[in-house]
Amino acid sequence: MKVVHRFGPCSGRGGDSPSMREILLRDESRVQSIQARLRSLSLANNNNNGDMGARESETVDLPAVNESPSGVGNYIVTVGLGTPPKSVQLVFDTGSHLTWTQCEPCAIQCYKQRLPRFKPASSTTYFNLSCNSQACSELKHATSYPGKCDNSTYTCLYSSSYGDNSYSLGELAKDKLTLTSTDVVDGFIFGCGQNNYFTYGDDIGGLMGLGTASLSIVSQTSQQFGNYFSYCLPTRTGSDGHLTFGKNNENTNNLNYTPLLPSYGNIVAFYFIEVLAISVNGQQLSISPTLFQNPDTIIDSGTVITRLPTPAYNAPRDAFKQQMRMYPLIQNPSSKKLFDRLHQLS
């Protein structure tokens, strides 16, 4: 799937780019949410690691577009949903599991989005899942909220909320998901939102969950793509990126990969990477590797700014200042106020 930066020349979207102040302050809410979730995870919740050794099958490549600079997610992909398929734009998020989109008739509240909202009545392959379905019982792990039951229709109801106050509530459903013209997922489980709110970037149709739970798109397509996915993000100057499902077996001599670790100990809600060292101008800094291992470093598609433990941050900061000592150091009063505010939030 193709990836284009939201504010680049290929986005097709007008409007001003967000300021650095807006990016940093909004970004902090997501980081705080991740930290809170990490602290509250039960060590007993360890039965959804996923089999990273699943069979290596085909590969599907989907375009993705850079979206809001903070909040729930940063990049979007366009997929087809239903029969016949209707285009839906979704933020993809490595820190979430359940995929959802706004649906008609939008019984309670919907926000404005760029493409038409999905109409279940127009799809010949759509149906709601019942309250006693296996998927309904798995919502607690995917969203932190157990499924509820609509007593009048016996339909399973889901709830998802996020650290920036975005949320979606609606019916748990199944339908055909079209990734490309030749890659289709039958019986894809997703949330059909009837009460939705997006704090930032309210022109997107919903969210694609790339997490590790059984209801994530990664787990649901594991038979086709072997529990593999990768992404390459675009630049602000307009170069394309991609979100790819499946293990790429082509010649990749010109690419460097960092493997995602699906768990740290018994924690399976996030993806981690192993940070070994930090260098400035080719010189490796004297930083203890243990600073990055408690737990390993979370990698998150929805977080903009990299955050480090204070000792790990101070070393590259000091090395950078030393390398730039030929230039005068100027303190921007507004920047100082911003970073003081961020320090208070942290």
Which residues are known to be catalytic? 93, 300
* Percent composition of the chain: helix, strand, coil (DSSP 3-state, to 5): 20, 30, 50
Q: Are 196 and 108 in contact (CB under 8 A)?
A: no
CA gap 133, 118 in Å, rounded: 23
Which of 98, 104, 169 is CA-nearest to residue 135? 98
Which of 177, 121, 180, 128 is CA-nearest to residue 149? 128
Burial class (CB in 10 A: 0-12, 13-18, 19+), 213: buried
CA distances from 265 to 272, 294, 301 (A): 11, 10, 22
Show the tokens assigned to 102: 């706004």
